[in-house]
């Protein structure tokens, strides 16, 4: 297996509806292809990490590189792996905002304007910090037996990450519906997406 991490920028400003469409596509395809990973989006910048069988990841990367929704794709890392770091997400998602950065002690002073390919590609530690928060809790089975408290902490971290992901998706759906209502384009598909989001929240 391999893990690939890259940066790119939206070609044109993407509406919430467009981001939701992209994520829906990722969830459907990645589940079928045994891919997992994480997509961060903010300030018009994408930071994505994808993991799975080498030929599947490389094939998708080729496709993504030709996607007109973004530009300036820059691969930061392509590494051989034996274990997944994002096993719980077919494609986890987080919108990066000023608030996201302010909430992370080591990134408090970075500012959203610096969430761009140029800054990020020369600040690997910022990328690691942002991505690390979404990793599946992992611990050695032996240590797990020895320290039940660590196990509980890891479980709680996993649950918090899950809740965070659900609220990210719900926020994106709300933004999409508001956008559609403002443009007078609210239709049955929006109602259906609200229903399915509500089901996932209950
Ligand atoms: C930033 C970005 C990330 C993407 N990530 C994925 C992904 O993880 N999985 C995926 O199937 N498509 C992803 N895509 C979409 C692909 O470029 C392509 O449109 C899609 O795989 C085609 O799917 P289809 O064969 O079902 O039409 C991404 C596109 C962009 C712009």
Q: Per-residue confidence of the chain (202 residues) as pLDDT tens digits?
A: 999 999 999 999 999 889 989 998 998 999 999 999 999 999 999 999 999 999 999 999 999 999 999 999 999 999 999 999 998 888 889 999 999 899 899 999 999 999 999 999 999 999 999 998 877 654 445 545 556 677 777 778 888 888 888 888 899 999 999 999 999 999 999 999 899 888 888 7
Q: Do 144 and 127 lie in a common domain?
A: no
Residue 110 near residue 127 (C-beta atoms within 8 A): no
* pLDDT score at 202: 78
Task: Supply the residue whose CA is at minimum distance from atom 25 of ligand 1.
Answer: 29
Pocket test for ligand 1, best of 49, 64, 66 (most atoms within 8 A of CB): 64
Provide the number of structural domains found in the chain: 2
Q: Do 81 and 171 lie in a common domain?
A: no
CATH number of residue 4's parent domain: 3.30.70.100
Q: Do 160 and 123 lie in a common domain?
A: no
Q: Do 152 and 112 lie in a common domain?
A: no
Q: What is the extent of the structural domain holding 201?
A: 138-202
Q: Do 9 and 66 lie in a common domain?
A: yes
Q: Do 131 and 153 lie in a common domain?
A: no
Pocket test for ligand 1, best of 29, 30, 47, 89 (most atoms within 8 A of CB): 29
Q: What is d(CA 176, CA 185) in angstroms, rounded to the nearest whole number?
A: 10
Q: What is d(CA 43, CA 115) in angstroms, rounded to the nearest whole number?
A: 6
Q: Do 173 and 122 lie in a common domain?
A: no
The beta-strand segments (E) located in 11-65 are: 36-42, 45-52
Q: What is the pTM of this model?
A: 0.83
- Domain final residue pick, 118, 136, 154: 136
Q: Do 155 and 62 lie in a common domain?
A: no
Q: Do 91 and 146 lie in a common domain?
A: no
Q: What is d(CA 198, CA 177) in angstroms, rounded to the nearest whole number?
A: 14
Q: Do 129 and 143 lie in a common domain?
A: no
* pLDDT score at 1: 98
- Domain final residue pick, 136, 156, 190: 136
- Domain final residue pick, 111, 136, 161: 136
Q: Do 64 and 126 lie in a common domain?
A: yes
User: What does the CA dihedral 101, 104, 105, 108 come to, rounded to 10 degrees?
Assistant: 0
Q: Cβ < 6 Å from ligand 1: which residues?
A: 8, 22, 25-26, 29-30, 46, 48, 50, 60, 63-64, 67, 69-70, 91
Q: Do 126 and 195 lie in a common domain?
A: no
């Amino acid at each position: 297996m391999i893990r690939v991490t890259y940066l790119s920028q939206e070609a044109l400003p993407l509406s919430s509806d467009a981001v939701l469409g992209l994520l829906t596509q990722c969830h459907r395809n990645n589940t079928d292809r045994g891919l997992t990973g994480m997509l961060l989006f903010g300030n018009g910048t994408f930071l994505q990490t994808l993991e799975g069988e080498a030929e599947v990841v490389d094939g998708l990367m080729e496709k993504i590189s030709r996607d007109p929704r973004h530009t300036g794709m820059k691969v930061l890392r392509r590494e051989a792996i034996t274990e997944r770091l994002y096993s719980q997400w077919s494609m986890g998602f987080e919108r990066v905002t000023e608030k996201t950065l302010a909430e992370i002690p080591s990134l408090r002073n970075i500012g959203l304007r610096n969430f761009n390919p140029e800054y990020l590609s020369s600040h690997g530690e910022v990328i690691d910090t942002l991505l690390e928060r979404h990793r599946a809790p992992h611990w050695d089975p032996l240590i797990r037996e020895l320290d039940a408290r660590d196990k509980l902490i890891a479980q709680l971290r996993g649950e918090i990450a899950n809740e965070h992901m659900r609220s990210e998706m719900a926020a994106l759906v709300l933004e999409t519906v508001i956008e559609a209502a403002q443009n007078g384009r609210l239709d049955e598909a929006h109602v259906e997406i609200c229903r399915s989001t509500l089901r996932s929240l209950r």
